[in-house]
Every structure is written in C-alpha cells, then in structure tokens.
Amino acid sequence: MPQKKALITGGCGFVGRHLLARLARDDFEQIWIIDNLSTGKDPGTWEKPVVQRHGPGPNPDTGNFHLEGSDTPIHFIKADFLAIALAELGMTPSIGVPKLPPFDEIYHLASVVGGRQVIDNDPLAVGIDLGIDSTFFLWAAKVNRPERILYASSSAAYPISLQEMGSKIALREEMIDFAGNLGKPDYTYGWSKLTGEYLGRIAVDKYKLKVGVVRPFSGYGEDQEPVYPFPAIALRVAARQAPVRVWGSGLQGRDFVHIDDACEACVRTCRLVSDASGVNIGSGKLTTFIELARRMVEIEGYAADVVGQKDMPVGVGARFCDPTHMKKVLNWEPTISLDDGIARALAFAKRRLAMGIKPE
C-alpha cells in the first residue's frame, strides 16, 4: 500500500499501541495516532511495542517516532480527538488545532475505558463515548471521508439477558438485530457501543462510507494494565500468592483472546467488511476466572487455592462467542492459545515484580 496513511484514534491505549505495531508491518507511508493520554500511555513509557526513536514534532503536543524493527514514520498528536474533529467540522475554533490529512484507513478506538470498576462506578463518564462516536462518524462523513473505517465495538453490546450466570449461549452476530428487538446491552458502555454500530450503519447507507465493525470479547495481553483481571491475576500468581484472589465468585466466565490476535482480526475486518456488519473476535471457549487462575497456578508450578472476592464487581455471568462467522468472513482464527498467553503474561508479570510493581 504505497503512499497510504492510517489513523488510530485512542492509539496510546492497550489496544491502540498493539494495533499500531500490527499496522507498522504494512507498507504505509505514515501512521498517525491521536490520544489525550487520559488513560493511554505516552509512547516514551510503553512496555510493548518498543519505541525506537523520538523526534521533535511541529508543536509541543506532537511527537514523531518509529517502532523497533519498522521504518514507518508515526506521528503522535497529544490531543482529544473530539476537539480536533469539532474544529475540523467548524463547530469550535481551529486556532492551535492540528490539521489532519486525508486517511486511507481509520481505526476508531477512542473511548473511555478502565475495566469493570469504571463501567460500574462511573457510568456517566463512560457515557461520553456516545459523543465521541457521533462526532467521529460526522467528521468522517463530512470532512475526512477515508477509504475504509474500522469501528471497535464490544461484546458488551450483546443483550445481557443472554449472558446470565451458568449460561451456555454462544453469542452470534445476528443476536444484535437492528431491524428487530435489540435487547438491553451491558450498562452505558454497552449502550455506547451499540449506538456506535448503528451510526456506522448510517454512515454506510446515507454517506457511502465503508465501515467494518468488530465485537471483541475479553482481550488480554502481557503488558495490559493490571487494573484488568487477566494481568492482575497473573501478577498475583507470579508473586506466588496463596490463596490467589479473583473478583466475585470466580464462576463468571469470559472468552479470552490475545491482543495480537484481536489486532489481526481488526485489520482484516477493516479491509474485508464494508457494510458495518459486526464480526466477533473470540475463541468460542468459555473460561471462568477460577479456571483461569487455577491454570495460571499450574503453569507457574506451585500449589495455591483460588478464592473469590464477593464485594468486587463482576459484570455479566457468562460471555463467549460463536466464532463461525468470524472464521468464514476473515478466513482466519486466533493463533495464540490460552496456555501460551498465560505463559507470556506470567513472564511479563515477573518483570513487573522486579520493577517494584506489586499485586493488589
């Protein structure tokens, strides 16, 4: 793809920086990332991927760098994407706001994130995602008009009535039916993602944009912030705690997919899906948090009981996908096994322990 440009909104978050590493392997002329660092990390502090070189940008809030092993120039704008889009739409003053070039691919990840604690305890803050997504699609339709868009939805958009404790219902894409009964998604985060998908459909139907939508299930990775369950449990196990604590009863289950697999699916969906239809990203396997922690203990090679913390938030009871449509549309399936992902997470957790990061 010579002379092509890509943009990642929210590019300094966990998913964003791994997606950046994936795109940096392709032949882009430039990759741009925008992040206000409210939850994302400054590129100079990334644990993965490794930043190879920083360089001065056109203003103090912009930096240019490469990733280790890649020559693709990356332009980082430290700013709120919402502010940039509103300025380019002429809705707010544009003085001091960076001007963006036309993009061939845009991966829209910008959102308020922070795990179950944030979703449950600060739902109105999460609700601002509605404003981010509506402004994004308006800007994409009226100003930038990229060749392709990837909208990062979530498995939280699925009806929670299908995800009760003990449920064995594999969530299929057609269970979100915009022409029928949508059902109630998972709190404000689920509502925002469901609405974002609907806006993507409008962008396709009314504005002739090409939009792909992914519904990732429980993405994890070794360098994920330890406020999330997978790295938090790995940190406790790497420290050889006994017993090992998990949130809630531990009987709630999730469909775990490694971040590198999730990012590959995002790129494939962006390039293969144009009608804003959703594509699951998951393994199709339901694993409870007790099972996850016990497997981590086994791989670490010591003996410890796993106990729950019933005063902590748990979310829905059982959330896992049917990957049939994903395999067919993307001609792909995840390649990193849960055991492999656990081994990577434990090795990285030991590195964190050596740096003085303590498990909670």
Q: Cα–Cα distance between 270 and 106 in angstroms, integer? A: 9
Domain count, the chain: 1
Q: Would residue 51 count as lying in a domain?
A: yes
Taking CA atoms, 252 is separated from 140, 181, 182, 303, in Å, by 38, 26, 23, 23
Taking CA atoms, 123 is separated from 84, 116, 127, 286, in Å, by 25, 10, 6, 26
The parent domain of residue 185 ranges over: 5-220+257-283
Q: Would residue 212 count as lying in a domain?
A: yes
Which CATH number is 151's domain given?
A: 3.40.50.720
Q: Cα–Cα distance between 11 and 253 in angstroms, integer? A: 28
- Token pair 């144009």 is at which residue? 274
Q: Which two tokens stand for residue 268?
A: 């494939």
Give the residue among 341, 345, 153 at the shortest CA–CA distance from 261.
341
Q: Would residue 153 count as lying in a domain?
A: yes
Q: Cα–Cα distance between 21 and 7 in angstroms, integer? A: 13
Q: Would residue 263 count as lying in a domain?
A: yes
Strand-by-strand arrangement of the 30-35 sheet: 51-56, 62-67, 74-78, 30-35, 5-9, 105-108, 148-152, 211-216, 275-281
Q: Would residue 327 count as lying in a domain?
A: no
Taking CA atoms, 229 is separated from 123, 220, 226, in Å, by 19, 9, 7
Give the dihedral sign, CA 38/114/159/335. Answer: positive
Q: Would residue 334 count as lying in a domain?
A: no
Interstrand relation of 306-309 and 244-247 (parallel, antiparallel or unpaired): parallel
Q: Would residue 349 count as lying in a domain?
A: no
pLDDT tens by residue, the chain, 360 residues: 457 999 999 999 999 999 999 999 998 999 999 999 988 999 989 989 999 866 555 454 567 899 999 989 999 999 999 999 999 999 999 888 888 999 999 999 998 775 666 666 677 777 788 999 999 999 999 999 999 999 999 999 999 999 999 888 999 999 999 999 889 998 888 999 999 999 999 999 999 999 999 999 999 999 999 989 999 999 999 999 999 999 989 999 999 999 999 999 999 999 999 999 999 999 999 999 999 999 999 999 999 999 998 877 778 999 999 999 999 999 999 999 999 999 999 999 999 999 999 998
Helix H, strand E, coil C: the string for the chain is: CCCCEEEEECCCCHHHHHHHHHHCCCCCCEEEEEECCCCCCCHHHCCCCCEEEEEECCCCCEEEEEECCCCCCEEEEECCHHHHHHHHCCCCCCCCCCCCCCCCEEEECCCCCCHHHHHHHCHHHHCCHHHHHHHHHHHHHHHHCCCEEEEECCHHHCCHHHCCCCCCCCECHHHCCCCCCCCCCCHHHHHHHHHHHHHHHHHHHHHCCCEEEEEECEEECCCCCCCCHHHHHHHHHHCCCCCEEEEECCCCEECEEEHHHHHHHHHHHHHHCCEEEEEEECCCCCEEHHHHHHHHHHHHCCCCCEEEECCCCCCCCEECECCHHHHHHHCCCCCCCHHHHHHHHHHHHHHHHHCCCCCC
Q: Would residue 248 count as lying in a domain?
A: no
Q: What confidence tens digit (pLDDT) does each residue in 262-319 have?
A: 999 999 999 999 999 999 999 999 999 999 999 999 999 999 999 998 877 778 999 9
Q: Cα–Cα distance between 175 and 187 in angstroms, integer? A: 17
